[in-house]
Amino acid sequence: MNRPPTVRPHTLHAAGIELSALLALPATPPRSTVLAIHGRGMRAAYWNSFIPLATAAGHAVLAVDRPGYGASARHLPEGQTLAEQAETLHAALKEHARTRDTGAGFHLLGHSDGGKVALHTAATAGGAVPLLGLDTSGTGYQYDPQALHFPSTLGGGATKLNWGPLHLYPRGTFQASRALLAPTPPRESAETIHWPRQFETLAPDVRIPVRLTFAEHEAWWHLDDTTLTAMTSRLTRSPSVTVDHLPAAGHNISLGHTAGTYHQRALAFLQDLLPPATTAHRAATTN
């Protein structure tokens, strides 16, 4: 029987910047370490429902408060650009790998703007730490016209964009999620409109497998076949690109009724990326 994971506050040291995080370890040496990167206006605890599934499958989870959020907000009141956040995360991962067993390497799991940071991180990896794959939800290419005004996550006009129909979430989600919310740093907000061009620049430099998930009620992005084909076709150096659509889900997938389905699919994707020796070790430890 798998025991519940111990999730504890953790501090990441990144070239002079301290990032708050949540760290959860499996009962056995980790098969991999999932770097879970939250979206705009959220915090690391967005991934709370993912953590027990991942640790039960043998993975460590490092859910980070992105630069400008959590502990680093006091020192970075304006935040960082997406590229700067990726640079900070590279430094944090390198230091984390120096002191801890990360298994086969790091797997990037990003949501929304966290997916953008994950794409920046993958495209600029440079081999400093081994990266297994990139899995994003709610991170598209071209914005839907209704999202052009980019209301703040904390603003009253953003409910449809950030959540979709309210019945997609368990009772009490919105009250409970208040503890997850944080102001979006100004430098991050200022970049939002530039994302399509940034993606076009980054995509050819992503050299790891990619999985993109979009909720049925996703309102931020154009999700027609032409736009999604244009998005995936730019990931020219990725060994594989998968697009998944999740029914009965809104933008904040990991907080909704279908979170478990999404997380299991994400873990299945990660399973396929592990080296054979890692997979065999997992089978031996569970028999």
- Flag residues of the chain having pLDDT under 50: 1-2, 154-155, 280-287
The whole-angstrom separation of Cα 67 and Cα 16 is: 12
**pLDDT (tens digit per residue) in 258-267:** 999 999 999 9
Residue 239 placed within a domain: yes
Residue 42 lies in a domain: yes
The whole domain housing 14 covers 7-286
Q: How far apart are CA 233 and CA 282, in angstroms?
A: 34
Q: What is the pLDDT of residue 286?
A: 45
pLDDT of residue 278: 56
Residue 199 is part of a domain; what is its CATH number?
A: 3.40.50.1820
The tens digit of pLDDT for each residue in 25-47 reads: 999 999 999 999 999 999 999 99
pLDDT at 8: 94
Residue 218, domain member (yes or no): yes
Which tokens go with 8?
A: 């504890």
Task: State if pTM tops 0.85.
Answer: yes
2 domain residue, yes or no: no
Q: Do residues 71 and 19 lie in contact, with contact meaning Cβ atoms separated by under 8 Å?
A: yes
In a domain, 1, yes or no: no
As beta bridge partners, residue 5 has none
Give the chain's domain count. 1
Residue 261 lies in a domain: yes
